[in-house]
Amino acid sequence: MIKVIIVDDEPRICKLIANLAPWDELGMEVVGIAHNGVDALKLIQSQDPQIVVTDVRMPGLDGLELIEQATQDNPDLEFILISGYEEFAYAQRAMSFGVKDYLSKPINRDNLSLALTRAREAVQARERQRALEDEYANIHKDEAKIRASFLRDLILLGPDELLATEMEAVNQSYYFHFHEGAFRIIIIQIDPVQPTKAKGIGAQQGAVLASSLQSAAYEVEIAELNGNFYVLVNYDPKIGSTIKALLQKNLMEFKTSLSPLGFMVTFGCGAEVPSLSELQLSLDTAKAAVDERILQGAGQIIVQDEHTPRSITDDERFLKLYKKLTKAIELLHVDMVSKAIRDLKAELLKGLAEDSWLSGSALKSLVREIVNTYYIILRTNNVRLEDGEAERAAWEEALDHAYSLDLLFAELIKGITASLTRIAEGETKRHAEKIALAKRYVEEHYMENITLEDLGEYLGFNPSYFSTLFKKETGTSFVEYLSRVRMEKAKELLKETDLKIQDICLMVGYNDVRYFRKLFARSTGLSPNEYRRIFA
């Protein structure tokens, strides 16, 4: 069973979560509940859970501090963050700590179960990875698999202990024959011109490339991941020009074979590094080189010797447009979102002509950030999306294979438009139900100090989105609707009772009699006293 801990400073919320989820069905058990961050940290250390469901704001340690400290001891912990709509900024910060799921209050069974399912899948994926690593440890006689595991682990898991090992130890453990000299990683990026489900494209050409490089290099290893090929080459630095010539020759062979089938091929060459321990730099720069094809053009060899990541939203020009896009996404308005993306693209094109630091990697990172923000906002607004995980995976794959700036932004608009259209179709009935619920709430609570924030939280929407939705569904703003209901109640009281105007004012939700008289006159064309004389 997967162990879960629940953390919230409100006992009723903890009890709700504990009773809401189908724990047995999910293969989980709740092994502890804490009401502050300090106790939660102790509970995590003693119970060793795989999943923690935690609120953001708590005494002792808040949710973000808890996540930061707990993941120092156990980076594999899966966290599900819970908070109100106003704490969206906290959720964004939590994403930087690796938190993948965010639930906004009020919590419902479906969203909680979905978040727990995703966390379970992440836990199980890590267990499968560990099992895979154990399998690698048990196949000492299978040289090819062990050699391939070195490059795959470097790509998937990062360097860490892998590259901290001495070269001779790596040679013995992985059956390599690395020499002192130069090391370089090349990524063969294969992009379909049209969407395709074809698998194994380029495998034969990749093997030919490896064989060709092996004729000049000390050692070559190739690994295929997600349709692309990663090549590790170890060679004498003196023959660098020979290696580049071989790459150019093989690129032409790739293009000759794959272009007629509808594929673009780009070689992204990482930096040449002098040791295995610096191989991560070559991998990072190879990825940056591949991303650079959206600016320099696909179908060529792109060499990247250095990579200094910089966020586009650090620049005030682009941040302003990014915020405008985020606002449009919050409103789930297709046309506004499309226009905001086009405006951002136009400003980026101007920036490319003026700023040398703008890169393909920076643009790809920006697009990934937009996609991530989009799905965070959907969760914040409790927007349900059937097959959301599959939709996101297909969308991100299309973005990964976008080989030009125009195509990158076209795929971004296409994906977000398709998703918002599906949401609009599926949400129409739910919105009607929510607006009916909002109207009923106003009918029952008009005498109270009702705010957009209160009603939005009651319905599970943020205020901005709820305000737009209410006007779209009713043709009037929430404030106008509330005022209309209050005026109708005031008319009834004026006609049917002898209560003082001040008392009626308070009974329909206003504290200021002068303001009430003004609104009443605007609504009816009469003062409260005149209305009573005529209609009572």
Q: What are the pLDDT digits (tens) for 10-39?
A: 999 999 999 999 999 999 999 999 999 999
SS3 162: helix
Pairing of strands 228-235, 182-192: antiparallel
At 475, which CATH number? 1.10.10.60
41 and 78 fall within a common domain: yes
383 and 405 part of one domain: yes
Alpha carbon distance 530, 494 (integer Å): 10
Confidence of residue 52 (pLDDT cuts 50, 70, 90): very high
Q: How many angstroms separate the Cα of 18 from the Cα of each of 6, 9, 374, 411?
A: 8, 14, 29, 41
Q: Are residues 237 and 317 in the same domain?
A: no
Nearest Cα neighbor of 111 from 86, 76, 78, 81 is 81
| 41 inside domain | yes
Residue 188, SS3? strand
Decide if 295 is inside a domain: yes
Residue 330 counted as domain residue: yes
Q: Do 150 and 233 fall within a single domain? A: yes
User: Do 331 and 403 fall within a single domain?
Assistant: yes
Strand partners, 265: 190
**The pLDDT of residue 420:** 87
* pLDDT value at 84 more than 90: no
SS3 state at 306: coil
So what's the pLDDT on residue 197?
64
Q: Are 105 and 16 in contact (CB under 8 A)?
A: no
Lowest-confidence pick of 155-164, 180-189, 497-506? 155-164
Domain shared by 418 and 454, yes or no: no
Whether 232 and 218 have beta carbons less than 8 Å apart is answered as: no
Identify whether residues 68 and 210 lie together within a single domain. Answer: no
- Domain CATH for 166: 3.30.70.270
- The total number of structural domains in the chain stands at 4
**Within 10 A of 360 (CB to CB), how many other CB atoms are there?**
22
Q: How confident is the model at residue 512 (pLDDT cuts 50, 70, 90)?
A: very high
Domain interval for residue 389? 312-426
Q: Which two tokens stand for residue 429?
A: 């009935």
Residue 195 has pLDDT above 60, yes or no: yes
Least confident of 91-105, 142-156, 198-212: 91-105
Please, are residues 123 and 115 in contact by the beta-carbon 8 Å criterion?
Answer: no
261 and 160 part of one domain: yes
Distance separating alpha carbons of residues 525 and 487, to the nearest angstrom: 12
Domain boundary pick from 104, 133, 162: 133
Q: Are residues 269 and 333 in the same domain?
A: no
Instruction: State the DSSP H helix or E strand holding residue 213, giving kind and residue range, or none if neither.
Output: helix 203-214
Q: For helices 513-524 and 478-496, what crossing angle results, to 10°?
A: 90
Q: Is residue 138 part of a domain?
A: no
Mean pLDDT for the chain overall: 87
Domain check: are 286 and 150 in the same one? yes
Same domain, 298 and 322: no
Domain boundary among 278, 303, 328: 303
Query: How far is it, in rounded angstroms, from Cα 327 to Cα 430?
Result: 22
Q: Cis omega (within 30 of 0) on the bond before 106?
A: yes
10 Å Cβ neighbour count for 179? 15
Confidence of residue 218 (pLDDT cuts 50, 70, 90): very high
Does residue 252 sit in the same domain as residue 361?
no
Q: Looking at this protein, which amino acid is placed at residue 248?
A: Q
Q: 390 CB contacts (<8 Å, ≥6 apart)? A: none
First-to-last C-alpha distance (Å) of the chain = 70
Angle ∠(298,299,301) on CA atoms, nearest 5: 95
Of the two residues 385 and 412, the one the predictor is more confident about is: 412
Last residue of a domain, one of 113, 133, 153: 133
Q: Give the per-residue pLDDT at 159.
A: 62
Identity of the highest mean pLDDT range in 380-384, 423-427, 481-485: 481-485
Query: Does 162 score more than 70 pLDDT?
Result: no
